[in-house]
């Protein structure tokens, strides 16, 4: 079987030659045979790595490798060429190599299928220059971490045509975003909240969230994907009102956002909607990415309706802030924090700022919030005095549908907002459709040596640079 677009093989492959060499060796000398086998296994492993990196593998070649390995294993067992201990050790190595071969086949197919879903040729002419910029400009320098970030897409699927519908071709923008990762190769992908518009009922809320996830998962292989919760994403407070049967529950969102089981090795508070993930460089943790939930009000009900309107009521509860201070920020790694809204009107945002400042300055404090209501924070102890070093890169958010930055709140550290990947049907926005100002998302490139974070933007907006 040969897949179109991959290199055909109509000759004896390098793998076949390797295995023929081994199988044709007629010797009972254990040391000699073991050396041959070890050498060939190393060659095969290196070849598998090369094939995976260059995408020139074919299914027939990889399956040939698997078959030959199995035959070789059987021959060694039958002829008694190894001691029992040596045979067991070799069996384990063979099984691992076969498993790696299977994974290579799977990865090749996934990458091939993903590339078929969307190609560079699908980019409209009015976005061609911006597309060329984003896929060629993102640096991959030493000690640099790249984060692909898209926020406030507000997709609302319906039957209306693009010219009149609220969020228009919003799903196409997710396709552009996903496709770009094959060139930009980010270390992590983040959806910043209001990933859907939410002004529909439960079935459509579920379908649209799943559709977004399915599109965005067609990214460069192995890239972690995380979604932050925005005030629109559950639908609570919109078309379904406060009715749990017409909107999304907390468990619905957790399943949709795949918070259970830590699929990318992230750390959560059980299966919370907030997390941290350590990006590695050369196998070593280099940057901690923290994602917070600014819609962290309880899902409690009274008389069958939710008590809190998620659309208009944003907050951080004490449990999340305690986890942030006493788990996520207990690190010497540089830290960047993402949340849907970092605005002052989010309940307990004052405590969030104080925690980040205490981390930055390596202080200890007992914190309480200015909010005296049910969600107020009371007596939260934080202590960063034992950290030998601490670096806060930035606090990044969306929500306000504008590019904005200031450094006063966090005493010299940037608090930035990123404009929305939305061109809605309202005056002042709809005029952007079919222009280079229609979409808006970016790659944040963080150079840990120069201590500079740069934006590389697709579509609307001016690229900014921040020191930390």
Give the residue with greater pLDDT, 92 vs 263: 263
Please tell me the distance from the alpha carbon of residue 329 to that of residue 23, in angstroms, as a whole number: 56
Q: Tell me which of 123, 143, 172 is where a domain ends.
A: 123
Tell me: do 225 and 118 sit in the same domain. Answer: no
What CATH number should be reported for the domain holding residue 347?
A: 3.60.21.10
Whether residue 28 has pLDDT greater than 80? no
Tell me: do 134 and 115 sit in the same domain. Answer: no
For 386-445, the pLDDT digits (tens) are: 999 999 999 999 999 999 999 999 999 999 999 999 998 888 899 999 999 999 999 999
For 90-105, the pLDDT digits (tens) are: 666 666 666 666 555 5
Place 9 in a pLDDT band, splitting at 50, 70 and 90.
Answer: very low
Sign, CA dihedral 285-50-140-184, equals negative
Tell me: do 240 and 112 sit in the same domain. Answer: no
R_g (Cα) of the chain, nearest Å: 26
Q: What pLDDT is recorded for position 373?
A: 85
Tell me: do 376 and 388 sit in the same domain. Answer: yes
Please tell me the distance from the alpha carbon of residue 171 to that of residue 328, in angstroms, as a whole number: 33
Percent of the chain exceeding pLDDT 90 equals 68
Give the residue with greater pLDDT, 147 vs 426: 147
- Per the structure, the count of domains in the chain is 2
Q: What pLDDT is recorded for position 117?
A: 54
Q: Tell me which of 123, 138, 167 is where a domain ends.
A: 123
Supply 191's token pair.
């959806």
Tell me: do 319 and 187 sit in the same domain. Answer: yes
Please tell me the distance from the alpha carbon of residue 428 to that of residue 383, in angstroms, as a whole number: 47
Tell me: do 99 and 218 sit in the same domain. Answer: no
Whether residue 186 has pLDDT greater than 80? yes
Whether residue 4 has pLDDT greater than 50? no
Please tell me the distance from the alpha carbon of residue 301 to that of residue 308, in angstroms, as a whole number: 8
Supply 188's token pair.
């992590």
Q: What pLDDT is recorded for position 166?
A: 87
Residue 210 lies in a domain: yes
């Amino acid at each position: 079987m040969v897949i179109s677009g991959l290199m055909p093989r109509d000759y004896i492959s390098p793998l076949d030659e390797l295995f023929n060499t081994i199988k044709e060796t007629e010797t009972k000398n254990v040391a000699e045979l073991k050396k041959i086998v070890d050498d060939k296994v190393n060659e095969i492993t290196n070849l598998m790595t090369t094939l995976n990196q260059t995408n020139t593998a074919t299914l027939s070649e990889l399956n040939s490798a698997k078959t030959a390995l199995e035959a070789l294993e059987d021959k060694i067992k039958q002829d008694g060429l190894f001691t029992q201990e040596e045979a067991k050790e070799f069996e384990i190595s063979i099984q691992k190599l076969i498993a790696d071969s299977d994974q290579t086949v799977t990865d090749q197919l996934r990458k091939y299928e993903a590339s078929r879903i969307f190609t560079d040729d699908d980019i409209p002419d009015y976005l061609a220059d911006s597309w060329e910029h984003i896929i060629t400009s993102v640096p991959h320098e030493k000690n640099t971490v790249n984060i692909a970030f898209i926020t406030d897409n507000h997709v609302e699927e319906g039957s209306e045509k693009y010219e009149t519908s609220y969020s228009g071709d919003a799903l196409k923008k997710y396709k552009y975003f996903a496709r770009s990762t094959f060139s930009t190769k980010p270390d992590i992908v983040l959806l910043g909240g209001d990933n859907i518009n939410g002004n529909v009922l439960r079935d459509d809320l579920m379908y649209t969230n799943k559709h977004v996830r399915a599109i965005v998962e067609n990214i460069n292989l192995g890239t972690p994907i995380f979604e932050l919760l925005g005030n629109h994403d559950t639908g609570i407070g919109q078309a379904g009102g406060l009715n749990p049967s017409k909107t999304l529950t907390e468990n619905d969102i957790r399943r949709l956002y795949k918070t259970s089981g830590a699929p990318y090795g992230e750390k959560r508070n059980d299966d919370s909607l907030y997390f941290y993930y350590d990006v590695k460089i050369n196998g070593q943790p280099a940057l901690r990415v923290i994602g917070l939930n600014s819609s962290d009000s309880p899902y409690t009900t009274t008389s069958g309706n939710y008590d809190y309107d998620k659309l208009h009521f944003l907050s951080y509860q004490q449990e999340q802030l305690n986890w942030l201070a006493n788990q996520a920020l207990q690190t010497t790694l540089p830290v960047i924090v993402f949340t849907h809204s970092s605005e002052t009107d989010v309940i307990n945002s004052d405590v969030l700022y104080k925690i980040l400042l205490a981390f930055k300055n390596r202080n200890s404090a007992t914190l309480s919030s200015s909010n005296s209501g049910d969600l107020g924070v009371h007596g939260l102890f934080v202590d960063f005095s034992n950290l030998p070093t601490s670096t806060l890169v930035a606090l990044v958010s969306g929500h306000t549908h504008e590019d904005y930055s200031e450094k006063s709140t966090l005493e010299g550290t940037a608090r930035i907002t990123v404009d929305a990947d939305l061109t809605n049907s309202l005056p002042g926005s709809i005029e952007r459709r079919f222009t280079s100002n229609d979409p808006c998302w970016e790659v944040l490139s963080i150079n840990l040596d120069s201590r500079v974070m740069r934006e590389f933007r697709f579509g609307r907006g001016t690229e900014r640079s921040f020191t930390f």
